[in-house]
Structure 1
């Protein structure tokens, strides 16, 4: 029968990128960890780790084995957490992934506050605009800002915030071109848009009235901060989430256009694999983010 403790030892060694760091964290001799991993490799009949005096690398099959061993470790931690209950102080590493704009706009100020609130917890943020497989890549939480509903992916979804989208422009642009009085006036204005295919906006008013408008395509970028800078430079009118342009509207460098109308909403949703969502540390992070963004 295989010694499942060796699976856990291997996961810790990979997590800490070496036998010596893992030995310090686990408070066991380095030689013991090396012996257990060697015994595991012998039982499996494959090399999991290539190690020399200077280098430590996980083999390709070792990476595949690690994902399953790490999942087993998470399940073991979750089982222990059930016994200890919710009152235990959250600790350990929580891995979060988000797009670059979401990391900059939504999480940049929030995560340092989280780290201060939970000193025994280590927060790791991975900001990327590529597709991330939470389960395969070992992430605990994904933070997603999205305009349309997310597809059903089998992940736990918790919607935590919704923000309105405003039309905005720089004062000098409006001084040159005039302030639109109604949505139809936007046809004569320069629009800063997110794509060539998305050639306008659907505006809605509180009374439920909706209208589609198509300005002149002056500038196109699929990144919100680029659109923000282009708008500040006086290029034209764009649609931005309130949280991205609130400071600029407050200091007068941007002005709301057609303030009775909104150009949609952006929703913030937290995604979690089922097993990781049971850990006290993950629950604490989810609740912290939800409480702060909900404000």
Structure 2
């Protein structure tokens, strides 16, 4: 089946392929958000474990799918070979750092007094959605950049690798959708609105994917920088937001084991399929 998917994606434009792949990742967010219709309140241990899983997938994807190919496709030896990845990684982290300081948002399980970004009268529900939207920008960008590398004919970028990354991001988007919709429900929103806003947090992924694919396809030399940029942005999100959220309660061991499990699964997917 995986071979059939690869054949289909090879038959269409890489930009369109990036769009379709991130429609899948958005769809997984929607599936997670839809659980608000099935359960009144998720088990806190399960939620922390799933959020830990999210962090593990993102860290593994950052290296196996993004940083390693970025280094491999760079010219030269020694420091010269690793510099594009180092520069791109730093720029990606700084980009998310800037968004974190500017975009109003609120982390899960925090009070309104802990909101970040510029001051705004926006409600808690809006700020929660914006926090998860921050997570999704580098994820969509990462998928788009890989497909853009395929369009540019870079040997280290493959359809299989891009699809594998999309599968991994889709898996970790499921708990993200859940993590948004249930706090919104607890804040007083109806089930329908909680689902709508929960899934909408991932709509930025197809947009970021298309932008990344087009940029790399037209400006091939930036590919190592772009791959590392996406990796830096993803690692920033994990360290700044995902890990602290899983370490606040009494389920730190479960969250840590979830992280390890997510890392292992993404590593296996990338090596076996990518």
Query: What is the TM-score when the length of structure 1 is the normalising length?
Result: 0.22
Report the structure, 1 or 2, having the larger helix content. 2
Report the structure, 1 or 2, having the larger strand content. 1
Larger of the two Rg values belongs to structure: 1
Higher relative contact order (CA 8 A, sep 6+): 2
